[in-house]
Amino acid sequence: MMPFEYEQAQDPAGAVATVTGRPGAAFLAGGTNLVDHLKLGIAGPDLLVDVSRLPLDAVEPTPDGGVRIGTNVRNSDLAAHPLVREQYPVLTQALLAGASGQLRNAATTGGNLLQRTRCVYFQDVTTPCNKREPGAGCSAIDGYNRYHAVLGASEHCVAVHPSDMAVAMTALGADVVVLGAAGERTVPLIDLHRLPGDSPGRDTILEHGELITAVQLPPLPMARRSTYHKVRDRASYAFALVSVAAALDLDGDTVRDVRIALGGVAHKPWRASRAEEMLRGATAGEEAFVAAAEAELEAARTLSENGFKVPMARNTMVAVLRRLAGITGDAS
Amino acid sequence: MDADITLRVDGSARSCTVDTRTTLLDALRERLGVQSPKKGCDHGQCGACTVLLDGRRIVSCLVLAVAQDGAEVTTAQGLAGPEGLHPMQSAFVDHDGFQCGYCTPGQICSAVGMLDEVKAGHPSHVTEDLTGDPELTDEEIRERMSGNLCRCGAYVNIVAAIREAASS
Amino acid sequence: MTDQLSLASIGEPLARLDGAAKVQGLAPYAFEQPVDDPVYLHPVQATVAKGRVTSIDTERAQALEGVVAVLTHENAPRLADTSDRELAVLQSDEVAFRGQLVGAVLAETSEIARHAASLVRVTYDEQPHDVLLSSDSDRFYTPDKVNPSFPTDTDDGDVEAALASAQVRVDATYTTPTEHNNPMEPHTSIAIWDPHGEHTLTLYDSTQGVHSVRKALAPVLGLDKSDVRVVSPYVGGGFGSKGTPHAHNVLVALAAQRSEGRPAKLALTRQQMFALAGYRTPTIQHVRLGADDQGRLTAIAHDVDEQTATIKEFAEQTAVATRMMYAAPNRRTSHRLAALDVPVPSWMRAPGETPGMFGPEVAMDELAEACGLDPIELRVRNDPDRHPGDGKPWSSRRLVDCLREGATRFGWVDRRPPGKRREGEWLVGVGVASSTYPGMAIPGSEALVRFEGGRYTVAIGAADIGTGTWTTLTQIAADALGCPTEAVNLQIGDTNLPTASVEGGSSGMSSWGSTVVAAARAFREEHGTDPAEGDQTQAGMPKNPDADTFAIHSFGAQFAEVRVHAYTGEIRASRMLGVFSAGRIINPSTARSQFIGGMTMGLSMALHEQSVRDPRFGHIVNHDFAEYHIATNADVMDMEATWLDESDPHANPMGSRGIGEIGIVGAAAAVANAAYNATGVRVRDLPITADRFVAALPPTPG
């Protein structure tokens, strides 16, 4: 761990100015990912600007019927908030599927969005990784890639984004409020994270010094019927192999509207737009769900050890949609 | 780079000089001699270092000490009072909720923090009805305690201990 | 027959005597021993799997404020004996596996030591390496023996002919992966080097045996045993990895010679443990069973491929349990070792039996199905009345009782054909497997009994790694002395106490218990029931007259109920029951914990654990608790262990046989067999993860 200076931010604009003006500076919030990375030698800032005590910790209804979440709202508090539990159960479920009680008490909303991949080669400074060191090569493509991407990957990087919360927020169509040196901007969450392309070192579109200050959830009455299913290698406290966040609005047995996002399959939370399109207006049922899921996964490209993710993602989508549609009993 | 901080640890004000890189866990163990929280993984992946920070359970290995100047820290050592063990600790002894004992202080701090979360109505991953107050079933205890690994495999007894402590 | 104790405290569920200290975190583990003015050690590890160090640039590390010393093979103190190459730390430029120690930094704080270690630049002459165990490896050889001293191969009758003529056959290959012990307390040591003190080296260590550490390290360091003191009163788990000293023990002793008398503190990081603290070898097991149409075995063949390191042989006795488990006139077992460019494999809970009972116990399930027999009935029909290998009588063999008792308790009668039980989104099945572990005692321990202050001090350099020694050995001592447990002051975990065998092979309580009983009896003989202050007697473990005439083994039946999600393939062990025959149970509370703990580790082995060694780099890439999964609390649902009420007078004066390991044996096979019963998908390779099922599950369109 390299030595660094530490200072507590007095206000958001000051924090942004400080980090913007110093290439080696970084924001510190809950620390659950950054402190981990300091120890692993993945991150080596020379200054940490602690934003965790800035008063950006409110969960508030917005005039349009949505909810605004301050960046410093802890994951556990967000999951437990009555507005979220009632209006966006998928978000509560996704948050509670992530990490552990202790980590959720420390991790913040903005920090959760900006957590970095769990690719074992990214986390090990003794192995080549294009994300850590552009041009070094990707060790995962021909290595241990059981957890890696099947959608949207590139020849330079096959890492996946590890957040559960972000998958639910992506399904909900959230926006991210970002403060930069030039002022505030609002970015659709679906555009916050990048696909790796030929610059896998960049996880997001944020510029150095930009600070997430809030996440805004749009009003979405259909989200009252929403759920999150995370498939993982143990029952708790593990990252997703595949996860599905979905909300379903039925008119009789016709799909009026649907929202689906996938986790564990790509470098970013994956909005299943193609499946959504196919399902809107379709008759809810196993057949339509399978067809939509398969259409979404048509573009999947698998590696040596992650081929199972395609049937797993398909089946998980189907299982979640069946549940939301109230279908029980055996598939036939 | 060094910094002077003061923590309130198990009820006493404790001052020390830390490196900005020093975690709360290392500040407690190596600077202040408070060795009740344990280092099992140092990366937030096992829960052995769990303490209550300003009343909430967290893993102290991923918290920088310098950022906690003035904070209130309770370890398993501090949960025991002059009259003896905390009811959660007694329940762990009675139910043999540990073997080697290394994860145990973290389990106990986690369990105490967890019960407060339940009291506050916080749901968990296995809570069916998100709108109501959660009921503390064994399944709920298991899920809520999954951030504390136990390699000896005392989970069955840990759940029994927490069940008893919660009902008393 | 050993002279049996009369019981008073033994059999009582006495709460752990170290419990109050442990629940407060006040029981001092090795790294927590109070020492003055310590320095901190952080290792530098090789980043190639094979080759030579050509240069080490320590300049930037040395220049850092707070760095006390940087050790490399060029400047480290010389060792007196480098014949154990795992312990020949920093003695040459040779690199034999990735992660090997090639240097270390001593500094004023752990933060500085870690930072400085990252600044050490090592260059290598890298040579081609091979770290992958596969059945077509060109690294195979046949060892002279397998651990600890069993014949490598056995061949009785004509297995090939019997298989060829068998009415029913199973012929399949089963694999178990590399697994790491991962005790919660990392491997830690504090070393104090004082050539003018009572002991040249004082080592606070996290170990399963202070005396065995001293015995191994003293000659390496060129010291007399009496110059070394090892202290280890509390140990945060070991499961075998702390059964023998590893390289870090030598490193910290070398470093302490460079710290001018200041204590050197070393805690391996979790990641470092994956290269430096031992692991269970992966195994490839070819199992062939032949039977008649009544399910009577005519042939058993168990051929094992496994790995060792180039620098030191470790030959896991994987097929040894097969030699005694079931009766068949034609039996063959074999072991081949591939010497790879990897760290040395080592002991991990029930070495031999744990991997070695996976293949055969799944094969038995397959055979039962092929014969149209209930898997319990198949095992009953093949239960041998004597040890099939050497013909010795069993001291006790109650496998069938365990199976039948378990079947009743578990509700085995409700078992359905594979893939026929569904509850909501879950496919449900049950499975069974046998378990066994030898009843062992290791000779050589001594115990001292001294009467002082109205109590009996009972001193023996034994270990408590969570097994409950502080409590159960106190109970044994109390009964041996005929006094209440409160009158016993047990002392363990220090080489200043009489010599004791290592905590391993589930032998601790048998060995130390027999020793304490002998010392107590000798004390009473010498000093009577009304001793004077300061009276003392020391005695050693007597030879068990029955050890050579009886086959002494414990047995058990493992039952599992498994749920597999019908869509996603997620798998859970929703119910597990173990019924064990392990002789007298000293303390039902701590014993149940041992059994359940073993079963939990078995569940973890079945569903979660796998160390992934990258063949290109040579190291384990999932080297932390986020990526190397062990069971969490949520994974252990309804689990219970019970035992037959019995005593084995042939084993030792307590009638006990050791319980630390049998709980893990067979558990993974029971889970695998239950997973098959749930889904109809037979998984022969551990761990059993969701991806094994998902492609075979609905929905299939059309």
- pLDDT of C696 reads 86
- Taken in order A178, A181, A184, A185, the sign of the CA dihedral is negative
Q: How far is CA A41 from CA A37, B40, C41, in A?
A: 6, 19, 18
Which residues in chain B are contacts of A4 at CB distance < 8 A? 1, 20-21
- pLDDT of A329 reads 65
- The mean pLDDT of A304-322, rounded to a whole number, is 98
Which residues in chain C are contacts of B36 at CB distance < 8 A? 24-26
pLDDT of C701 over the 50 cut: no
User: Please, are residues C286 and C301 in contact by the beta-carbon 8 Å criterion?
Assistant: yes
Q: How far apart are CA C35 and CA C13, in angstroms?
A: 36
Over residues C313-335, the pLDDT tens digits come to 999 999 999 999 999 999 999 99
Closest by CA position to C673, among listed C317, C89, C174: C174
Over residues C627-641, the pLDDT tens digits come to 999 999 999 999 999
Tally of CB atoms within 10 A around B102: 31
pLDDT of C686 over the 60 cut: yes
Angle at C550 between CA C549 and CA C552, to 5 degrees: 145
ipTM of the complex: 0.98
Active site residues of C: 661
With H, G, I as helix, E, B as strand and everything else as coil, classify residue C299: strand
Q: How far apart are CA C330 and CA C276, in angstroms?
A: 41
Tell whether B38 lies on the interface with A, counting CB pairs under 8 A.
no
**What is the signed CA dihedral for C53, C57, C61, C63, rounded to 10 degrees?**
150
Cβ–Cβ of A237/C634 closer than 8 Å?
yes
Task: Return all residues near A114 (Cβ < 8 A) that are at least 6 apart.
Answer: A33, A203, A204, A206, A212
Which residues in chain B are contacts of A28 at CB distance < 8 A? 64, 67
Q: How far apart are CA B112 and CA B119, in angstroms?
A: 11
Over residues C207-264, the pLDDT tens digits come to 999 999 999 999 999 999 999 999 999 999 999 999 999 999 999 999 999 999 999 9
User: Please, are residues C119 and C60 in contact by the beta-carbon 8 Å criterion?
Assistant: yes
Cβ–Cβ of A236/C691 closer than 8 Å?
no
pTM above 0.95, yes or no: yes
- pLDDT of B168 reads 84
Parallel, antiparallel, or unpaired for β C140-141 and A270-271? unpaired
- pLDDT of A330 reads 61
- H-helix or E-strand spanning residue C427: strand C426-438
Which residues in chain B are contacts of A24 at CB distance < 8 A? none
pLDDT of C1 over the 90 cut: no
pLDDT of A41 over the 70 cut: yes
- The mean pLDDT of C301-318, rounded to a whole number, is 98
Residue C681 structure tokens: 């998908």
Angle at A304 between CA A299 and CA A305, to 5 degrees: 95
- H-helix or E-strand spanning residue C210: helix C210-221
Q: Which bin fits A320, alpha (ψ -120 to 50), beta or left (φ > 0)?
A: alpha
C443 or A329: whose pLDDT is higher? Answer: C443
Chains touching B, CB cut-off 8 Å, 3+ pairs: A, C
Q: How far apart are CA C237 and CA A202, in angstroms?
A: 41
Shortest alpha-carbon distance between residue A272 and chain B (Å) = 24
Q: How far apart are CA B132 and CA A85, in angstroms?
A: 10
- H-helix or E-strand spanning residue A227: strand A226-232
List the single residue in A143, A232, A319 with the smallest CB-CB distance to C614: A143
- The mean pLDDT of C560-575, rounded to a whole number, is 98
Cβ–Cβ of C621/A294 closer than 8 Å?
no
Residue C79 structure tokens: 């060792």
Q: How far apart are CA C76 and CA C251, in angstroms?
A: 9
Predicted confidence band at C97 (pLDDT cuts at 50, 70, 90)?
very high
Residue of A nearest to C612 (CA): A144
Q: In the predicted model, what is the mean pLDDT of chain C?
A: 97
- pLDDT of C699 reads 55
In order along chain B (168 residues), what is the average pLDDT of each group of 10 residues?
96 97 98 98 98 98 98 98 94 98 98 98 97 95 98 98 96
- As a residue count, chain B comes to 168
- The mean pLDDT of C599-606, rounded to a whole number, is 98
Chains touching A, CB cut-off 8 Å, 3+ pairs: B, C
Closest by CA position to C161, among listed C152, C169, C151, C172: C169
With H, G, I as helix, E, B as strand and everything else as coil, classify residue C631: coil
Shortest alpha-carbon distance between residue B109 and chain C (Å) = 10
pLDDT of C298 over the 60 cut: yes
Shortest alpha-carbon distance between residue A233 and chain B (Å) = 14
Tell whether A28 lies on the interface with C, counting CB pairs under 8 A.
no
Cβ–Cβ of C617/A142 closer than 8 Å?
no
Residue of B nearest to A32 (CA): B62
Report whether the peptide linkage leading into residue C329 is cis, meaning its omega lies within 30 degrees of zero.
no
- pLDDT of C193 reads 98
Cβ–Cβ of B63/A31 closer than 8 Å?
yes
With H, G, I as helix, E, B as strand and everything else as coil, classify residue C524: helix
- The mean pLDDT of A39-65, rounded to a whole number, is 97
- For C173-191, give the DSSP string: EEEE--B----SSPPEEEE
Over residues C386-414, the pLDDT tens digits come to 999 999 999 999 999 999 999 999 999 99
- pLDDT of C218 reads 98
- The mean pLDDT of C529-554, rounded to a whole number, is 97
Predicted confidence band at A332 (pLDDT cuts at 50, 70, 90)?
very low
Cβ–Cβ of C690/A290 closer than 8 Å?
no
Q: In the predicted model, what is the mean pLDDT of chain A?
A: 97
